Amino acid sequence: MTTIIREIREQFNPANPAECIGQVELLTVDETKAIVASAHQAYREWKNKSSVARGEILRVLADLLEEEIDLVAETASREMGKTKNEMIGEVKRGASILRYYAQEGMRATGEILPSANEDKILYTKRVPLGVIAAITPWNFPVAIPLWKIAPALVYGNTVVWKPSIEAALTGKLLGELFERAGFPKHVVNVVQGRGLNVGQVLLEAPEVKAITFTGSNGVGQSILNTAGSTNKKIQLELGGKNAAIILADADLKSAAKLTIEGAMKQTGQRCTATSRVYIEQTIYDEVLALLIEETKKIEVGVTMGPVVSRGQYENILAAIEKAKSEGAELIFGGEPAFNETQGYYIQPTIFKNVTHEMAIAREEVFGPVLAVVKVKDYEEAIQLSNDSEFGLSASIYTKNIQKAFDFIKRSEVGLVQVNDETGGAEPQAPFGGVKNSSTGAREQGQAAKEFFTTMKTVTINTK
């Protein structure tokens, strides 16, 4: 008999770093390979199941997720730091995603086309790819996995899912809910492990036909380097340095409130978080005061949770120190909220007098940090807004409809918001960016079928 020795990882609460909240077993490379092979076997039967029936299991899962909302939210909150109220909102969003894709099982998957030959029937149909590898981050431990896994399943693929190691307990709990919902064995597979071993198996396994990943640009580039030449489909959702523009004709109180919400919600740990804001010089001082006023309403430890880990905590504090050393003026926060032993809490932080040569204006921080830039007018604002290697989301606050539509046309991002914060996405709408923010087909909505299926064209000669 072969004895399998697995690494045991303890998970700690970032709000109380001394508190171990559970353990997870990390799979070996050989175990992961066996799971991928099993998913490949399960695909042969799952792909032939009615898409309506596949969608019905997603609906059952949505019901289960809502029934267990308190447990899922509490588990994720204690594991990765998002407040429980924020996690409840995320779990509800996850259920909405599942219900949306449950209905996708009833939609047409092709179309009948006219043929030049009257004796021929010509039509198209979408067909699944096979085994999909989903590699997901810790910052949305419920919503992001579900908006990848749900469309993959309803379109007839099987899935091997590697949750972030920082959200392993949440991933384990979701895996149990998939099982309870009635998915056949090996259709949905949760593999816990480190990217260097388990993740590498998913990139290299010939049975895996597509990889969908959300995370850092560095890891995304590694995926491209490894899997890009294997003929696998690749979908990458990466970083952002999202900008907001506040013009003099805007509702300034609303703009300030939404800008701070965009920057500080979920402790700024969102790829769509507002990271920089451009304010017209005639209203600069007034808006700056409003931003500070809104930031003072945040209660660290109550309405704002800790960052996910000690490593993230140290990275954010280092970015704050770098901004100060480069000449940005700290006007709010910028320090740990408590002693580190009391949790990885960082004060909401605002810098002014930021220039575009500074790292704080160009590099993703992924924490509760906002860079404020004074601009002469709208034209300078949009030029600076577009001056970034990233292109995920951007907002404009204005009552001028001409400038709003000009911004929609010229903003170099995938998600444009008018009089709203940079974050937020609905299940029925495509999600993704341009430049170094995204690679491959869009996520969510019916756009998801572009990634998770391929097109088959059929000709029937009736003569």
Q: Which residues are catalytic?
A: 237
Cβ-based neighbours of 265, under 8 Å, separated by 6 or more: 86, 273, 423
Q: Are 414 and 393 in contact (CB under 8 A)?
A: yes
Helix, coil or strand: residue 218: helix
Q: Which helix (H) or strand (E) holds 148?
A: helix 143-154
User: Read out DSSP for 177-190?
Assistant: HHHHHTPPTTTEEE
Q: Rounded to the nearest 10 degrees, what angle do helices 168-181 and 51-67 cross at?
A: 130
Euclidean distance between CA atoms 454 and 128, whole angstroms: 6
Looking at the DSSP bridge assignments, the partners of residue 332 are 350
Contact 87, 80 (CB under 8 A): no
**Could you give the C-alpha distances from 318 to 31, 308, 369, in angstroms and in order?**
38, 16, 12
Structure tokens at 404: 């709003």
Q: Which helix (H) or strand (E) holds 454?
A: strand 453-461
Contacts 24+ apart (CB under 8 A), 382-388: 382/245, 382/406, 382/407, 382/410, 382/411, 384/243, 384/278, 384/356, 385/243, 385/245, 385/278, 385/411, 386/410, 386/411, 386/412, 387/356, 388/241, 388/243, 388/362, 388/435
Instruction: Give 283's DSSP letter.
Output: G
Among 38, 202, 41, 111, CA closest to 457: 111
